[in-house]
Amino acid sequence: MILQKRSVFIITTIVLVIAGYTAKAQTTPWTLERCIEYARLNNIQIKSQKITKELSDVDLEQTRAQRFPTLNFSSNFGVSFQNTTTYNDFMEKTEATAYSDNYGLNTGVTLYSGGKLNKTIKQKQIENSAYSYDIEQSALDIEISVIQAYLQILYANESLEIAKKALALSQTQVERGQEMYQAGSISKADLAQLQSQNASDKHQVTEANNSLSSAKLTLKQLLELELEENFEVVFTEFDDQQVLKIIPDLSSVYQSALNNLPQMKSSALSVESANMAISVAKASRLPTISASASINTGTISSAGTSYFEQLGSKINENIGLNLSIPIFNNKQIRTNINKAELQSQSAQLQDMSLKKQLLSTVESLHNDAVSAQSQYVSAKEQLDAAEASFELVNEQFLAGLKNTIELITEQNNYTNALSTLLQSRYQAVSSLMLLDLYQYQNVNY
């Protein structure tokens, strides 16, 4: 009995511990680093591109295998029926039905094709490398999207805190205003203005809550989490050192992005592949030399000799050397060359366009970082002034020296200064992070 109770106690304890760990795991907040790592491993687009890369690997192997000889075995079995009676040399009646077997072994190999096969293999290798860079670029793109979505959550959360702070201030002012109204210090109209401001602040809190929920949903959908999975993030803060860190030189950022971004490497390889396609098309003008060999044998039931004796006596061997010279083929080769040259020009134009887009993106990020840092510095000074002014006006209002309009105006100025500082902070942090990513550098999260 004691052992039974002890066993039940142990089992219950284990179940509770496991349940506790499970609950803890389900409610563990997501850090930015965890979000990025999860997205890199589970994003459907990245998985799809990995499959495309594997298909390219298979295609490359098949192209390489064309260098080797082919070897094929063939056989067939037949039955023939005769309508007339036949006799052999001994005047013995033979069967009207005959059975036959044929066997063959064939091989062939391309000896020379104007370098077309080697150039095709080289083109496939280039395309295969480009697919690898496409996977890296997709991972980088999802990392950028996750960073932007995560920072939007942090921004929405701090905006909510500012809205709550404004609501607390206006609530305090309403309570004080009611006391002053009862004491006859302010009119009913003044009290109504304070109450109106308080109602407006409540609405702002609701809007800020909705914005935070929407930002969380965006990141959750980006991570492709299940509907029932609980999702909360770690709310980190950024100090002045992170906001005001040195902005890298624009030209160095662009040059680094040009040299290191997977997207740019993939584009360069696409141009190289298109140029190689021209060489492949031109190689079709040259002769093709191939060798072939075969061995065949067979049996027939009406031959009057044994099965194995026929197999040995009916062996037929053949070896050949084949030469194919293209002379006229309805402009097919010329057309393929023209198409390859046009596709090469198109690839070069796409590469140029991509470089211009990259420059435009880097310039915008660099300008945003410079502008946000300047705004952040001025916003801090503006906030100090707005806070001091609001505190002074609030004291004067309580002393009856300022009216409600002036009080509400100063409160709004103070709230707007908080919002401006917050916006410039996250604009600077976001731009600086993305500049690091475009240089293909590790970002400290």
Give the predicted TM-score (pTM) of the model: 0.82
From the CB of residue 283, how many other CB atoms can be counted at a distance below 10 Å? Answer: 18
What is the identity of the amino acid at 294?
S
pLDDT at residue number 301:
76
Q: Which residues contact 391 (CB under 8 A, 6 or more apart)?
A: none
pLDDT at residue number 89:
53
pLDDT at residue number 431:
96
pLDDT at residue number 3:
42
pLDDT at residue number 8:
45
For residue 138, the Cα-to-chain-centroid distance in whole angstroms is 3
Higher pLDDT, 78 or 112: 112
What is the identity of the amino acid at 65?
A
Alpha-carbon span 328 to 323, nearest angstrom: 15
Residue 25 has pLDDT above 60, yes or no: no
- Give CA torsion, residues 153, 154, 155, 157, to 10 deg: 80
Backbone dihedral region for residue 246 (phi beyond 0: left; psi -120 to 50: alpha; all else: beta): beta
155 near 422, Cβ under 8 Å?
yes
Using pLDDT thresholds of 50, 70 and 90, give the confidence band for residue 354: very high
Altogether, the residues listed in the chain come to a count of: 445
Using pLDDT thresholds of 50, 70 and 90, give the confidence band for residue 242: very high
Using pLDDT thresholds of 50, 70 and 90, give the confidence band for residue 24: very low
Using pLDDT thresholds of 50, 70 and 90, give the confidence band for residue 22: very low
For residue 114, the Cα-to-chain-centroid distance in whole angstroms is 40
Residue 81 has pLDDT above 80, yes or no: no
Residue 250 has pLDDT above 70, yes or no: yes
Alpha-carbon span 269 to 121, nearest angstrom: 14
pLDDT at residue number 329:
87
End-to-end CA separation in angstroms for the chain:
56
Half-sphere exposure of 251 (CA within 13 A, CB side): 0
Residue 405 tokens read as 């309009």
Residues 190-221 have pLDDT tens digits of 999 999 999 999 999 999 999 999 999 999 99
Q: Which residues contact 158 (CB under 8 A, 6 or more apart)?
A: 422
Higher pLDDT, 82 or 304: 304
Q: What is the mean pLDDT of residues 211-235?
A: 93
Residues 368-403 have pLDDT tens digits of 999 999 999 999 999 999 999 999 999 998 888 889
pLDDT at residue number 83:
56
pLDDT at residue number 441:
75
Residue 132 tokens read as 């690898």
Backbone dihedral region for residue 423 (phi beyond 0: left; psi -120 to 50: alpha; all else: beta): alpha
User: Which residue, among 90, 401, 363, has the nearest Cα to 248 in the 3D structure?
Assistant: 363
CATH value of 32-67+115-285+330-438 in 1.10.287.3510, 1.10.357.10, 1.20.1600.10, 3.90.226.10: 1.20.1600.10
**Range list for CATH 2.20.200.10 in the chain:** 68-112+287-325
Alpha-carbon span 122 to 280, nearest angstrom: 10
Q: Give CB contacts under 8 A, 24+ apart, made by 442-445.
A: 443/147, 445/31, 445/32, 445/33, 445/36
For a pLDDT cut of 70, what percent of the chain falls above it?
89
Give the C-alpha distances (Å, rounded to integers) separating 270 from 130, 255, 288, 332, 354.
7, 20, 28, 24, 12
Reported in sequence order, the residue ranges of 367-409 that DSSP labels E, i.e. its strands, are none
pLDDT at residue number 90:
52
Alpha-carbon span 7 to 286, nearest angstrom: 84
Pairing of strands 97-112, 70-81: antiparallel
pLDDT at residue number 97:
73
pLDDT at residue number 36:
94
**Range list for CATH 1.20.1600.10 in the chain:** 32-67+115-285+330-438
Mean residue pLDDT of the chain comes to 89
Token pair 């090469």: residue: 344
pLDDT at residue number 15:
44
Alpha-carbon span 377 to 428, nearest angstrom: 11
pLDDT at residue number 291:
94
For a pLDDT cut of 90, what percent of the chain falls above it?
75
434 near 144, Cβ under 8 Å?
yes
Q: Give the CATH fold of the 68-112+287-325 domain.
A: Outer membrane efflux proteins (OEP) (2.20.200)
Angle at which helices 404-438 and 116-182 pack, to 10 degrees?
Answer: 160
253 near 439, Cβ under 8 Å?
yes
SS3 179: helix
pLDDT at residue number 2:
44
Residues 85-127 have pLDDT tens digits of 555 555 555 556 777 889 999 999 999 998 999 999 999 999 9
Cross-strand bridge partners of residue 77: 101
164 near 202, Cβ under 8 Å?
no
Residue 18 tokens read as 């496991």
Residue 96 tokens read as 């009207």
Residue 316 has pLDDT above 80, yes or no: yes
168 near 202, Cβ under 8 Å?
no
